[in-house]
Amino acid sequence: MKPTRRRACSVDDNTWFLANNAGSRIASIMAADGCSSSLGLPCVFSPKSRQYLASFAQDGRLRIWNTDSKILHQEYVPSAHLSATCTCIAWGPCRIAKEGPLRKKRKSEAGRVEEQADLLALGTAVGTIIIYSAVKGALHCTLDGGHSGGVNCVQWHPVDGLLYSGSDDPYIVEWDLQTSKTRCKWKADRASVTSLCVSPDGKLLLSAGQTIKMWDLKTKEVYRKFTGHSTAVTTLRFATTRPPDSNGLYFLSAAAHDRLISVWQVQEDGNDKNSVVSFTLTDDPQHIDLLTSNSKEEAVRLAVVCKDGQLHLFEHFLNGPCKKPLSPSCTVQMSGLEDIPVPVPLLAAALTADTRSLLLAYGSYLQPVMERVDVNTAERHVCLTRDVHTTLTLAMENTVSKVKTPVVNAKSKALVPGLPGHRAPVKAALGSEKRKKATDAKEMSIEERLGEIDLSLEKGGVKGTPSLQTDNFAVLLVQGLESKDANILNNVFQTRKDILIKKTVSRLPIPAVLPLVEEITKRMQGHPYTAVLMVRWLKAVLMQHTSYLSSLPDLVSQLGVLYHMIESRVKMFHKLTKLHGKLYLLMTQVTTGDSGNTIKDVDHKAKLVYEEESSDEDKASGDEGLPDEDSDNWEDETMEEETEEGMRTESKANGDSDMEPGNESEEE
């Protein structure tokens, strides 16, 4: 498949058209809704031979692809691939790996021992590091206990079996893979460590958050400090292999949201705080590969894959500062073969010894396409057209062809286990099976089948245990939510038993929780009687499924309407309570005033009359016959009263009216 070069013109922000015109320029604008990779997922080629490509996709699985055969070589699923997602990946140095018991080699084979890429270091978001062996196809070891935050970068030592890691905590950890424990740990910065790089000779270590520091690995002390970038540094790479005291040691750095790659020189006098060279890009750098320079006469070759899916190639002789930013010597883009070509994003690129040859990975992280292409770097812009869909189908066929499917006879029957619960199939009676065998040529209608089911239930069925469990409230609720049937939902929501509501909500499947919350929110906005019933269901949902609701990323937008409605009603309840109290006091005063003013009419009729049986004549005769005992006393009392009145008048005339009552009584 030979690369074809065409001219690209942008009609609008979302459309491209290409015209045949060799050796012309290609616009660097990509479609906003195209296949550009906005996710910075780890994707890296193996060192030296570039035989393998290790990548992580959105499903959290490690996939190792063979670049020669272009098929999936290995796949590894970490135990916590969903919670502890992979944040960074790095191939270890090539080594002689042992694949179990080795046979005794001949003398002619003894000298032909090849080193191959074996170990992969995978940093996770929970602070652990997974070491995977590509040769064994299994987990090598797990490094934990070194970091309290997510791992941002891992870097291998080129000679010793050591690994360096940086995380959200401001520490750098040196790991010993023989013991799987920390060998050294020191504080590198005030903030998190986002990038690391070990020098080719293994004596220096670069670390960066926003500022860049160079460490002496023997003493673990700072050797140099550099200004760095305004944002977090994402990539650090040594560009030369010269000693630091020769003014010939260079390294480059790239940062997030920064379209410049800066090159720094380690000077002998220490005056090296600012960058000496910068390379311009079209977007944030996503994947960087370079071939180091071993002498001043050898140029540094750099391949940068940007976030917009374009590849930029640079070639520069590092010999002192350069004032102007350097533009790429060649830009490579890919597109499909459609009538309106859609750009195909590049995922990674690897340089080879041949200046014209490149190893590209493009397409999707789930199924990347690897290809070795020859690019004429003399042209500033190159566009490669590929039929990605055809290539993907061929790769999938090659991958799936290894799976062997058994040959099944046409007359054989496959036995499928029944589903439990309300979806369990109804078992037919033995009588119906015999009838079917007797009348194989005649097919039964649906009405006859239903009649057979009813007869089987009446004859051999157990009462009270129907085969279809349709009376389950959870099943009815799920059916009502899926079909949005108001009758089913009304029958379910009318229950007032808290225990039944709690059990129903606890048996709901997870995908039905959010539709239930939306239905409850909708019904709470209606009649107050319905809102009283819905509050019980809402309480059960929050008690049973709080953990699931809190894991939703758009929880605020989902529960915002419900929250504002409850808050507004709570505020209104306080005002209504005050109004109720005032009205109650007013009504009690009105009722008490009305009761005091109204006087009931007095009934003058006697409710009870008692009459004696004796006559008046008997009374008169009886009184006259009896002696009058009080007649004498009455006369004496009248005489005493007259004498007292006479004495009082005399005392008033003599002026003795102020006498004490005691003396007055004594005189009397």
Strands 138-143 and 260-266: unpaired
- In the predicted structure, residue 625 carries a pLDDT above the cut 80: no
The mean pLDDT value for 414-435 works out to: 45
**According to the model, what pLDDT value does residue 649 have?**
53
The mean pLDDT value for 120-141 works out to: 90
Phi, then psi, of 450 in degrees rounded to 5: -65, -40
The mean pLDDT value for 251-276 works out to: 87
Region of 288 please: left (phi>0), alpha (psi -120 to 50) or beta. beta
DSSP assignment of 146-176, as one string?
A: S-SS-EEEEEE-SSSSEEEEEESSSEEEEEE
Measured between alpha carbons, how far is 188 from 194 in angstroms, rounded to an integer?
11
Phi, then psi, of 480 in degrees rounded to 5: -65, -35
**According to the model, what pLDDT value does residue 114 have?**
63
**According to the model, what pLDDT value does residue 42 have?**
82
Q: Is the pTM of this model over 0.95?
A: no
Interval 36-65: pLDDT, tens: 333 467 889 998 888 899 988 777 888 999
pLDDT bracket for residue 424 (50, 70, 90): very low
The better pLDDT of the pair 663, 68 is held by: 68
Share of the chain above pLDDT 70, in %: 70
Interval 335-386: pLDDT, tens: 888 778 888 889 999 998 888 889 999 988 888 888 999 988 888 999 988 8
Interval 461-476: pLDDT, tens: 444 444 444 447 788 8
SS3 235: strand
**According to the model, what pLDDT value does residue 313 have?**
94
The better pLDDT of the pair 340, 135 is held by: 135
HSE-CB at 137 with a 13 A cutoff on CA atoms is 7
Tokens 């566009």 appear where? 383
- In the predicted structure, residue 440 carries a pLDDT above the cut 70: no
Strands 381-385 and 330-335: parallel
Tokens 């424990």 appear where? 181
**According to the model, what pLDDT value does residue 643 have?**
58
Interval 534-569: pLDDT, tens: 888 888 988 888 888 888 887 777 777 888 887 877
DSSP assignment of 534-597, as one string?
A: HHHHHHHHHHHSHHHHHT-TTHHHHHHHHHHHHHHHHHHHHHHHHHHHHHHHHHHHHHHHHHHH
Measured between alpha carbons, how far is 272 from 230 in angstroms, rounded to an integer?
18
HSE-CB at 529 with a 13 A cutoff on CA atoms is 3
Tokens 């054989």 appear where? 412
**According to the model, what pLDDT value does residue 79 have?**
77
- In the predicted structure, residue 281 carries a pLDDT above the cut 90: yes
pLDDT bracket for residue 33 (50, 70, 90): very low
Domains and CATH numbers, the chain: 39-96+115-385 (2.130.10.10), 473-573 (no CATH)
The mean pLDDT value for 225-237 works out to: 90
Residue (of 202, 145, 198) closest to 169 by Cα position = 145
- In the predicted structure, residue 644 carries a pLDDT above the cut 70: no
398-407, 448-457, 553-562, 632-641: which range is least confident on average?
Answer: 398-407
**According to the model, what pLDDT value does residue 228 have?**
85
**According to the model, what pLDDT value does residue 637 have?**
56
Measured between alpha carbons, how far is 263 from 250 in angstroms, rounded to an integer?
7
Interval 487-512: pLDDT, tens: 888 888 888 888 889 888 888 888 88
The better pLDDT of the pair 666, 558 is held by: 558
Provide long-range contacts, Cβ within 8 A and 24+ apart, for 508-513. 508/474, 508/477, 508/478, 508/545, 509/478, 510/545, 510/548, 512/477, 512/478, 512/481, 512/482, 513/541, 513/545, 513/548, 513/549
The mean pLDDT value for 224-251 works out to: 87
Q: What is the mean pLDDT of the chain?
A: 75
pLDDT bracket for residue 251 (50, 70, 90): very high
- In the predicted structure, residue 529 carries a pLDDT above the cut 70: yes
**According to the model, what pLDDT value does residue 436 have?**
47
